[in-house]
Amino acid sequence: MARYVLDFQEIDRTQVAVVGGKGALLGELSQIEGVCVPAGFCVTTDAFQRIMAGAPSIDDQLGQLSCLEPGDRDAIRALSAEVRRTIERIVIPDDLEATINRSLEGLGEQAAYAVRSSATAEDLPTASFAGQQDTYLNVVGSAAVLQHVSWCWASLFTERAVTYRLRNGCDHRKVQMAVVVQQMVFPQAAGILFTADPVTSNRKVASVEASFGLGEALVSGLVNADVYKVRDGAVIAKAIAAKQLAIRALPAGGTEAQAIDSERQHEPALTDEQVVQLARLGRRIEAHFGHPQDIEWCLVADGFQVVQSRPITTLFPIPEPGDQENHVYVSVGHQQMMTDPMRPLGLSFWQLTTPRPMSEAGGRLFVDVTRGLASYGSGSNLVEARAIEALRRSDRLVKDALETILERGDFIQAPPDELPDEREPAIAQLVEAPGPIETDPAIVAELIEHNEASVAALKRDIRTKSGSALLDFILADIQELKRILFDPRSNQVFMTAIHATRWLNEHLQDWLGEKNAADRLTQSVPNNVTSEMGLALLGVADVIRPYPAVVTFLQYVEDENFLDDLPALAGGAQARDAIQAFLDKYGMRCAGEIDITRPRWSERPDTLVPVILTNIKNFESGAGERRREQGRQEAYDKERELLERLRLLPDGEAKADEVKAMIDRVRTFIGYREYPKYGMVSRYFIYKQALTQEAERLVLAHVVAEKEDIFYLTFQELHDAVRTNRVDDQVIRERKDAFESYQALTPPRVLTSEGEAITGAYRRDDVPAGALVGLPVSAGTVEGRARVILDIAQADLEAGDILVTTYTDPSWTPLFVTIKGLVTEVGGLMTHGAVIAREYGLPAVVGVEHATHLIQDRQQIRVHGTDGYIEILA
């Protein structure tokens, strides 16, 4: 039986479907001891559904809305206004009107009320939807309340609400609207309490914003608020604003902005004691809901009343340390060039592959560096000091963040004695390898040959495995993968190249004044499987370019099965064979390839089509080989120039001989830097193909609904599912929802166990005013059109563009042949983008915070790859 009105005392947080997010939370708040909530009731979604049923035309209108894109602003504006007018014209039925009026009589019919929307997709743990519908204050009289209830129903279809749902994938038909009717309070002060600091995300610090009068002035941005920070029962910081306006209630209803007397404008809205009391109230509410809260409050007659509380959805989750000690975590994704969230199967494969345990939060992995920092701070452990130095070299923002923590001196305490070796933390895996090895290319050839033979054996042997035996086989093969990845000879090869690179840069700057000289010396080095991949795709374009019918066909490709249709075209068979040959060697790669669950190029070859078309448009036949040879020649010319200049110096022959040896060492070994990951993702793809076949069996057995469901299980859970033919469907649904929410979060480079995201800085004063600062990783200066691209499948580049993106992994390499400069938000000296940029001779700056937001697409910029900054040009 439909219930059209529920009192707050009848409502709890489980009734979102009936009273919406805001109503459910207000009902729950009303049940918490010690929390005062103004009395009220909810007009339920049953009432809304009855109203909607009175206008059959709305269903067609909602169907039209669902077909729009978030960017179709004019169409959204017109159609949403039409829906609102339809709802507002509906007459509230007599029995529903009588039910609402009886509830008003119980509160005092002629009192003033706040009438507030409460959608079923609002104030949820994973998406607040805050501000998407309407709130009306100081509504006086039953007739006015009924009118405003109708307006709240219609506000489900404001332009901003419709656009928000389109962007977040919410079905308009599945979102219902309830309405909160609540006694109005007239406070002397009001504002917002965040139980976690909204700036730093620190869960131990509460933030209070306060102003005079109704909180609407603050929420709507009409006034600057007083801001207080509270920790451990004390105000630790405050800033009192000049408050020129306050929103006050009018006797006849509604509100107006009133000027505050000049002598009161700088008075604090709250005393310190009141702020502490409010923070304590917030902690009680947070404990009840089990999640940091965004709370709207009012101060009435020296007591606080809560008028709304919703979860803070923008906080990055905290890894679970398992103890009560302080911990510091460094993002693995920033080191691996993949800051997107990973599904549980991807996370567990990565954890199985790495030699040290890692912590998980928000679908990302973090390494706990607490012991390393403590040891570094005490200076007692040389190994740990070298590990922190390795981090400093790889990412200066991480380095600065870690040093900020150490400088505070109150979060990490240095141990009294040196840590024993067996307790060295996970950060120790970043310590540099021992000294250099001889310049013998046979070492690289041997390592590559061993890996290829091992992958071939895996591909052969895994075909005979299924069921639990398959999972056992994969688990055993991961040990072989780890032996290859962490072979001391392999590590020593590329660490030798890194040492030699640093040696060259340091000595050539000292002797010749050359900054980052090694960058030009590493162009077109041998054995770089990733740079060779980019040039190989130029070769695919060479095959396709002579066949116009194929080029035209590719311009309209929409799915991954297009290869089957190619042979029907003139030149189509040759095109198919060329693409397939590329996929046979590189098809295991993809964006975010360290996550085994991501679709590979072999699974989605259409991903490569835009890049192939770009290569056809921007290059002539043979461009790949010409670029390779040009790089070799430029590196040779630079080497000859440097050696000639060195020989003119005192003791020049000896210096030239040293430099020549180091150049040979770099060029012999630096290309191998990209190979270990290539070997790893080659194995990952073989694992994935076998597990996908096993997932198909689970679908046929009705264990899972679809193949991709296995991605939301850990490796061990998948093993159990295969063994028992049982899976908890609820777990899979919850993890899918969690993964969706994680995609909206940006992981911090450094995170503490208090939830604080420590933001490092470059702290440089040698760059022009207004320049964007980053890490110089590939020398040279270039000016051109910025292309801000977040998805390689959407890349539409012209020759000479400068690529601006969040991060690059090997899947982005095919774009590098077109661009002439690179800017990324994430990266280090030896990460993928830096290595390939140097080999292709592209000036590059990485680690530029918020580059994709601060640089506009198609804007003219100048990249200073030698000095590490970007100028945005007029």
Does 850 participate in catalysis according to the annotation?
Answer: no
Residue with tokens 């390592």: 447
d(CA 422, CA 311): 42
Residue 361: phi, psi to the nearest 5? -160, 135
Helix (H) or strand (E) holding 689: helix 675-700
Q: Which helix (H) or strand (E) holds 539?
A: helix 529-544
Q: How far apart are CA 815 and CA 541, in angstroms?
A: 13
Q: Which of 148, 172, 499, 832 is catalytic?
A: 832
Q: Which residues contact 554 (CB under 8 A, 6 or more apart)?
A: 544, 562, 609, 612, 613
Handedness of CA 160, 161, 164, 169 (dihedral sign): negative
Query: Cα separations (Å) of 595 from 346, 580, 598, 681, 809?
Result: 5, 23, 6, 9, 12
DSSP single-letter state for residue 811: G
Provide the b/e sequence for 517-545 (b: ≥16 CB within 10 Å): bbbbbbbbbebbbbbbbbbbbbbbbbbbb
Task: Report how far residue 300's alpha carbon sits from residue 141's, in angstroms, rounded to the nearest whole number.
Answer: 23
Q: How far is CA 873 from the centre of its chain?
A: 28
Alpha-carbon distance of 442 to 453, in angstroms, equals 16
Q: Give the strand pairing for 226-231 and 364-368.
A: unpaired
Q: Who's near 280: CB < 8 A, 6+ residues apart? A: 233
Q: Which amino acid is at 458?
A: L
Taking CA atoms, 91 is separated from 51, 52, 54, 83, in Å, by 8, 11, 9, 15
Q: For the residues of 395-434, what is the DSSP string, one character each?
A: -HHHHHHHHHHHHH-SSSPPPSSPPPGGG--GGGGGSPPS
- Secondary structure (DSSP) of 7-75: EGGG--GGGHHHHHHHHHHHHHHHTSTT-----EEEE-HHHHHHHHHT-THHHHHHHHHHTS-TT-HHH
Distance CA(775)–CA(335), nearest Å, equals: 14
| First-last CA distance in the chain | 65
CA-CA distance, 573 to 643, in Å (whole number)? 50
Within 10 angstroms of residue 453's Cβ, the number of other Cβ atoms is: 10
Q: Which residues contact 553 (CB under 8 A, 6 or more apart)?
A: 562, 565, 566, 569, 572
> Which residues are identified as catalytic?
832
